[in-house]
Amino acid sequence: MARHLHLGAFIRPISIHTGAWRYPGAYADANFNLAHMRRFARALEAGKFDALFMADHLAVLNMPIEALKRSQTPTSFEPFTLLSALAMVTERIGLVATASTTFDEPFHIARRFASLDHLSAGRAGWNVVTTSNPDAALNFGREDHMEHGDRYRRAREFISVVKGLWDSWADDAFIRDQASGVFFDPERLHVLAHRGEFLSVRGPLNIARPPQGWPVIVQAGASEPGRQLAAESAEVVFAASSTLGDGKRFYADVKARMDVLGRPRDSLRILPGALVVVGETIEEARAKRDRLDSLVHYDSAVASLSIALGHDASGFDPDGPLPEIPDTNASKSGRQRVIDLAQREGLTVRQLAQRLGGYAGLAFVGTAQTIADEMEAWIDGEAADGFNVMFPYLPDGLDDVVHRVVPELQRRGRYRRDYEGTTLRDHLGLTRPANGFFAEGASA
Amino acid sequence: MARHLHLGAFIRPISIHTGAWRYPGAYADANFNLAHMRRFARALEAGKFDALFMADHLAVLNMPIEALKRSQTPTSFEPFTLLSALAMVTERIGLVATASTTFDEPFHIARRFASLDHLSAGRAGWNVVTTSNPDAALNFGREDHMEHGDRYRRAREFISVVKGLWDSWADDAFIRDQASGVFFDPERLHVLAHRGEFLSVRGPLNIARPPQGWPVIVQAGASEPGRQLAAESAEVVFAASSTLGDGKRFYADVKARMDVLGRPRDSLRILPGALVVVGETIEEARAKRDRLDSLVHYDSAVASLSIALGHDASGFDPDGPLPEIPDTNASKSGRQRVIDLAQREGLTVRQLAQRLGGYAGLAFVGTAQTIADEMEAWIDGEAADGFNVMFPYLPDGLDDVVHRVVPELQRRGRYRRDYEGTTLRDHLGLTRPANGFFAEGASA
Ligand SMILES: Cc1cc2nc3c(=O)[nH]c(=O)nc-3n(C[C@H](O)[C@H](O)[C@H](O)COP(=O)(O)O)c2cc1C
Ligand SMILES: Cc1cc2nc3c(=O)[nH]c(=O)nc-3n(C[C@H](O)[C@H](O)[C@H](O)COP(=O)(O)O)c2cc1C
């Protein structure tokens, strides 16, 4: 049987593309409008998505004000509050919140995810990040971001503390015997008493064990320690692979790390982020994408191009081809990718800049058929277990995926026609972890 | 016209009384069952309550395990997640979450309350606490609780930072002009750049200004610095006054502090917490209360009595009167109150202990009429602007208040028959604060 694939939906920002809010017919406030968010979540649930995934940042994005003022990102809901609200207007779809191990406390994080998991009857996931935006430090009393290696060592310790706190209570600890007056069995309560390099946390957590045991652990770090952490503890990885070749290498790398650790490969799903632009014809889809890119202001666009090239591009002729660039000490591979992209697609400087200023990662642009073909190639080529779908604009870009791509994948036997279980673990085909301190059903 | 009163509902724990979950017909899991919480919130909204109020603790309560195991408190939802969920199944009632200035970060707190206020269309309130349970420190990497004076200095600075962050964006900052591509006006964005004794926070906040300007500031600290902080910045105080005389003294004290500060008295509502037990007759109400107290296990009860007396009471005859207690260096006034209570109501040691082990604060026990009489006496005696109602057991104890006491207050012209506005500020009769950095409507 053909391998099934998994679909997550990237919803913060509600479109990754900086031109999205200007697209004809788009909701300009889609990123920060509860009625829209509710409609999107329900549409994704009708499309049987595994989860919706909310990225998160702890500072207004670190870009020049001229670019920032054109971006919808500074206004958005906070993940725990938004996803708790959406838990009440959906029934099956998973709810993945991003939370930082650098700028928060394990007691708070463990508790909020446990609470979200209870409120949603087992649909919570935690996208563990060490926080990519260094400006966040300034909002938390620090001068600089914590050093990269320290961030990941703290993250590893943090995750183990959070899991330990989730396991504070045996699943059957709460007896609630009205006759005897005993509410819980003290023998079924574990005090963590953790003391480590970065954290000291006594416990126990003041909430019962989550319905999923542990909410699903998601990770998106791309560096060497990021991949290693994923191999050790992630159950879903949001990959940033932008070509099939990259995807295969990343997939093989992370799964090989799991082999070394003795973790079954099947206990981790790798979902690259992908912008999906659907047309009736390939030409129509490309025209939509071009239109979208054209909505990126040239000032922001050229700033992105300059960063990618490691060379000031503001003097280039916008309507000419990319000129020769003298060598700099910027990342050579990054620059070469940009030059190759311009050549491959025959882009002018303006088009190239707008591509980079809009969204330059993996994109599937075509008909439902060609998109399904590409998705299948990634799945069968062991480059992905599914995708974290990004929408080009809202609401139409989302509805196109739900109403065209999903049915095509269903016809091909690649995607569920209905949810088979109720929890996010069920959707992802992941088992419920046993409590680290108590054997199941072995109540005293 | 008779002064109207305000009603909040205390919902974490869902009953303050430790025997509540054992009461005949009570939901034993009322504290931690979403379907019940939803029903309670809706019932309170039908009763036109100003708000529901969720206390919060950052550690399992610091009581001996023999008492703790009889308490429902170790399992409850986390406030931000629960109240966000309840925002979706209610329309008018205010949602007050407790959050600590000692164990959290102003950026997180400002952002979560702003998000809750947006999700609920202006119904959020923040109960500012410095955290009463010293064990919380052990869950946040500290050996000891921060010193009391430091806690309050930090709280004062923390509140001002949170307000500054809420004011990061002018109310009209977001233009979302699809034609020009400008999403917000950079002139209408304020970078706080706070550096103070305890906190350094740059800002801006990554969410628009809350609908209420600032969510309502609530405070419950009873000490000298607690009262002073309330007079400076609270808009609601949850008082712990247990007699009418205490209530008057507390009310006069806090309002006099406001006079000194030049704050209008009317910008702060004082709501003592009150257990409300309703019967068809006074005798029936008293019998309910006695029954409830009798459900407190004697071990927990006698531990509470010993603490209150500063003397081990475990050797006393449970069914005899309270014996003479030798002098100790425990709080004399606290002890005398207990001795007076035993004499006034003619309680045996067991009854006295169970009263203290259950709930010993302000209680209105009687018919709808006598309860309304007492409430009026507090309001007209300038001891309260309303009450934070605590329920003896769920669901009946709550339904009794909504179906019997509220209509009686309405008949007397003391309570709204319907909500007149939509926000928590509207219900409380509080004005929306202006942005500290931008004049209203003075957009560039
Ligand atoms: C799909 C995807 C989503 C991400 N979401 C977030 C996020 O929400 N917040 C964040 O701080 N970082 C986010 N990141 C960044 C990663 O957590 C990580 O910081 C980045 O990939 C750099 O990797 P490294 O930290 O391992 O060097 C995301 C990365 C990817 C690929
Ligand atoms: C009605 C009421 C509710 C309270 N709720 C909380 C709470 O949820 N969390 C908390 O840590 N403290 C809570 N407190 C404790 C106060 O914040 C404060 O710590 C206590 O009254 C002692 O006062 P002080 O800190 O000013 O000495 C509450 C107090 C009262 C009277």
- What would the two tokens of residue A142 be? 């620090």
How does pLDDT run across B174-202, given as a tens digit for each residue? 999 999 999 999 999 999 999 999 999 99
* Residue B329 banded pLDDT, cuts 50, 70, 90: low
Taking contacts as CB-CB distances below 8 angstroms, the residues of chain A near B297 are: 181
Give the pLDDT of residue B46. Answer: 98
Task: Say if the Cβ atoms of B85 and A80 lie within 8 Å.
Answer: no
Task: Say if the Cβ atoms of B201 and A140 lie within 8 Å.
Answer: yes
Task: Say if the Cβ atoms of B178 and A22 lie within 8 Å.
Answer: yes
SS (H, E, C) A13-62: CCCCCCCHHHCCCCCCCHHHCHHHHHHHHHHHHHCCCCEEEECCCCCCCC
Instruction: Give the C-alpha distances (Å, rounded to integers) separating A289 from A276, A279, A430, B177.
Output: 10, 10, 35, 21
- pLDDT, average across residues B41-64: 94
Judged against a pLDDT cut of 60, whether residue B437 lies above it is answered with: yes
Taking contacts as CB-CB distances below 8 angstroms, the residues of chain A near B78 are: 111-112, 114-115, 207
User: Is A223 annotated to bind ligand?
Assistant: yes
Ligand nearest to the Cα of B239, by number: 2
* Residue B444 banded pLDDT, cuts 50, 70, 90: very low
Judged against a pLDDT cut of 60, whether residue B401 lies above it is answered with: yes
A131 lines ligand 1 (CB under 6 A): yes
Rounded CA gap, A355 and A360, in Å?
6
How does pLDDT run across B361-396, given as a tens digit for each residue? 999 999 999 999 999 999 999 999 999 999 999 999
How does pLDDT run across A5-47, given as a tens digit for each residue? 999 999 989 999 999 999 999 999 999 999 999 999 999 999 9
How does pLDDT run across B98-110, given as a tens digit for each residue? 999 999 999 999 9
What value of ipTM does the predicted structure carry? 0.96
Report yes or no: B294 at the A interface, CB cutoff 8 Å.
Answer: no
pTM: 0.97
Task: Indicate if the alpha-carbon torsion angle B307, B311, B317, B323 is positive or negative.
Answer: negative
- What would the two tokens of residue B217 be? 């500031």
* Residue B443 banded pLDDT, cuts 50, 70, 90: very low
Judged against a pLDDT cut of 90, whether residue B162 lies above it is answered with: yes
The residue whose two tokens read 């929408």 is A391
Instruction: Give the C-alpha distances (Å, rounded to integers) separating A12 from A72, A96, A217, B40, B252.
Output: 10, 11, 18, 32, 49
Nearest to B116 by CA among B79, B84, B164: B84
Domain ranges in chain A? 6-278+363-428
CB B293 within 8 A of CB B354: yes
* Residues 139-198, chain B, touching A (beta carbon < 8 A): 139-142, 169, 174, 176, 178, 181-186, 189
* Residue B441 banded pLDDT, cuts 50, 70, 90: low
| Nearest-atom index, ligand 1, CA of A58 | 11
CB B216 within 8 A of CB B425: yes
What is the topology classification, in CATH, of domain B6-278+363-428?
Answer: TIM Barrel (3.20.20)
Residues 6+ apart with CB under 8 A from B176: A21, A28, A29, A72, B183, B184
The radius of gyration of chain A's CA atoms, rounded to the nearest angstrom, is: 23
Q: State the distance from the centre of ligand 2 to the C-alpha of A81, rounded, in angstroms.
A: 24
From B32, B119, B202, residue closest to A138, measured CB to CB: B202
Give the pLDDT of residue A338. Answer: 92
* Residues 312-351, chain B, touching A (beta carbon < 8 A): none
Judged against a pLDDT cut of 90, whether residue B439 lies above it is answered with: no
The residue whose two tokens read 């028959």 is B417
Give the pLDDT of residue B252. Answer: 98
Intervals of chain A under pLDDT 70: 1, 328-331, 441-444
Rounded CA gap, A44 and A35, in Å?
14
Rounded CA gap, A80 and B116, in Å?
10
Q: State the distance from the centre of ligand 1 to the C-alpha of A54, rounded, in angstroms.
A: 12
CB B240 within 8 A of CB B222: yes
CB B174 within 8 A of CB A75: yes
Nearest to A356 by CA among A339, A344, A338, A343: A338
A240 lines ligand 1 (CB under 6 A): yes
CA distance B61 to chain A (A): 9
Residue identifier of the C-alpha nearest atom 11 of ligand 2: B131
Mean pLDDT, rounded, of chain A: 95
Task: Say if the Cβ atoms of B76 and A207 lie within 8 Å.
Answer: yes
From A81, A181, A207, residue closest to B80, measured CB to CB: A81
